[in-house]
Amino acid sequence: MRSVRPILIWTALTAALAVPIAFAATSPLLAWRDPVYITAGLAGVVGLALLLVQPLLIGGYLPGPSAYRTRRLHRWIGGLLVAAVVIHVGALWITSPQDVIDVFLFQSPTPFSVWGVVALAAVFAAALLAALRRRLRLRPRTWRISHASLAAVTVVGTVVHAILIVGTMETVSKAALCGLVLAATTKVITDLRLWPKRSAAR
Amino acid sequence: MTTSLLNRRSLLAGGGYVMATGVSTLMAPARAEGLAPTLSMPGGSNNYHPGAPIVDRIGKGGFLMSGTVRRAGDGAPLAGQRIQMWAHTTEGYENQERSHGATLTDENGVFRLEIPQIIPAFGQPHGHFAYDSGAFKTVFLRIILTMWPATHLEGHFVLQPA
């Protein structure tokens, strides 16, 4: 039993990530998009998928690597996530600059894009906090609460952003991935007991 | 020590609330009823090319863009008004010349123009309509297809004197 469990967990994770990406990568809509626009969309999908890996890593839910390794991996994937967001927005900018400028001026007619901006700001701030961890000299608890709060905002913003979009992602696999991302984030924040109970707060 | 008021639950609840209201806003049909003038919509003029030619249809057609043009105040239909349209379709991007065209309203203030099939782009499938001929105030519409796939999109104008 003990030897089967890790295989099952890794298989399930691979499927949870690969299925929505595969659907998006083979969407019929791609026929009417050029490579830059296709890259923009897929970078967004990959970013959403990475949001599932992050809480699983830092919560130590994935069998195999040591705590030290999972933390390093979490940092690495955080970097990839920022890169995915930069590619996503950059390629959209090349495709239709006016639409992207509207989004950042909060003048966009599309509500989903505002959620994207919120998630972008939160993920950049979370990454900055991680990069400057030593230099900031925050109390470990303060740092954790700040980083986890920003991560939670990133997740909620991204999930709402993704759900509202009619695009290359297939609806059911998109909803499933979003559900898993929310569940994993909720679980890790609960398990890490970042927030003290109200009665113990004072 | 302070307690964070913005906890996980309130964030998720807030997200859910806005998601619900956001979705219902999207579901609302786009209309321009009554006698008040239609206002330009945010993003309405994105990828606008002034002076799109009057055409029988854009590209191979297959998707109907239609609507009405009326006068603010009394609601009288306005005939012979030039309405420009563009969208991301199976035949091109919004910013490409071949995705743009215009038509005139008939005596009932109704206009109809076939364009190629609209494809979801920038998050939601949508089409642009513009009145920009000078006699009345310019209006730019960016209307979202609440259902997709679909083969019809309406844009309605109530114009006020320039």
- Number of domains making up chain B: 1
Check whether domain A4-193 has CATH 1.10.10, yes or no = no
Residue-wise pLDDT tens digits, A87-97: 999 999 999 99
Nearest-by-Cβ selection for A167 from B1, B23, B123 = B123
- Give dist(CA B99, CA B145) in Å, integer: 17
| Residue B17 confidence (pLDDT) | 43
Give this complex's ipTM.
Answer: 0.79
Q: Work out the mean pLDDT of chain B and round it to a whole number.
A: 85
Q: Inter-chain contact B123–A186, Cβ cutoff 8 Å?
A: no
Residue-wise pLDDT tens digits, A2-50: 679 999 999 999 999 999 999 999 999 999 999 999 999 999 999 999 9
Residue-wise pLDDT tens digits, B102-136: 999 999 999 999 999 999 999 899 999 999 999 99
Q: Residue B78 in contact with residue B70, Cβ under 8 Å?
A: yes
- Give dist(CA B100, CA B113) in Å, integer: 11
Residue B97: give its domain's CATH number: 2.60.130.10
Q: What is the pTM of this model?
A: 0.83
Confidence of residue B8 (pLDDT cuts 50, 70, 90): very low
Chain B contact for A192, CB < 8 A?
Answer: no
Residue B146 CA: distances (Å) to CA of A49, A113, B143, B150, B151:
27, 17, 9, 9, 12
β-pairing verdict for B152-154 and B100-104: unpaired
Confidence of residue B139 (pLDDT cuts 50, 70, 90): very high
Six token digits for residue A78 = 């955080």
| Residue A36 confidence (pLDDT) | 97
- Give dist(CA B30, CA B33) in Å, integer: 10
A163: left (phi over 0), alpha (psi -120 to 50) or beta: alpha
- The torsion angles phi and psi of B42, rounded to 5 degrees, stand at -55, 135
| Residue B105 confidence (pLDDT) | 98
- Give dist(CA B106, CA B77) in Å, integer: 9
User: Mean pLDDT across the stretch B142-158?
Assistant: 93
Domain-embedded: residue B86: yes
Q: Which residues of B touch A (CB under 8 A)?
A: 1, 3-4, 6-8, 11-12, 14-15, 18-19, 22-23, 25-26, 41-44, 46-47, 88-90, 93-95, 119-125, 142, 144, 148
Domain-embedded: residue B106: yes
| Residue A2 confidence (pLDDT) | 63
B102 bridge partner residues: B54, B84
Confidence of residue B148 (pLDDT cuts 50, 70, 90): confident
Nearest-by-Cβ selection for A166 from B14, B46, B125 = B125
| Residue B147 confidence (pLDDT) | 87
The percentage of chain A sitting over the pLDDT mark of 90, rounded to a whole number, equals 87
Nearest-by-Cβ selection for A198 from B3, B46, B122 = B3
- Give dist(CA A50, CA B111) in Å, integer: 47
| Residue A86 confidence (pLDDT) | 98
Residue-wise pLDDT tens digits, A154-177: 999 999 999 999 999 999 999 999
- The 8-class DSSP code of residue A46 comes to H
Domain ranges of chain A: 4-193
Domain-embedded: residue B18: no
Q: Torsion over CA of B129, B42, A93 and A87, rounded to 10 degrees?
A: -120
User: Mean pLDDT across the stretch B52-71?
Assistant: 97
- Give dist(CA A50, CA A84) in Å, integer: 9
User: Mean pLDDT across the stretch B147-160?
Assistant: 94
| Residue B20 confidence (pLDDT) | 43
Helix (H, G, I), strand (E, B) or coil at B49: coil
Domain-embedded: residue B9: no
User: Within chain A, how many helices (H) and strands (E) appear?
Assistant: 8, 0
Q: Residue A109 in contact with residue B142, Cβ under 8 Å?
A: yes
> Residue B151 sits in which domain range?
32-159
Domain-embedded: residue B66: yes
Q: Residue B160 in contact with residue B137, Cβ under 8 Å?
A: yes
Closest CA to A56 of A44, A43, A71: A71
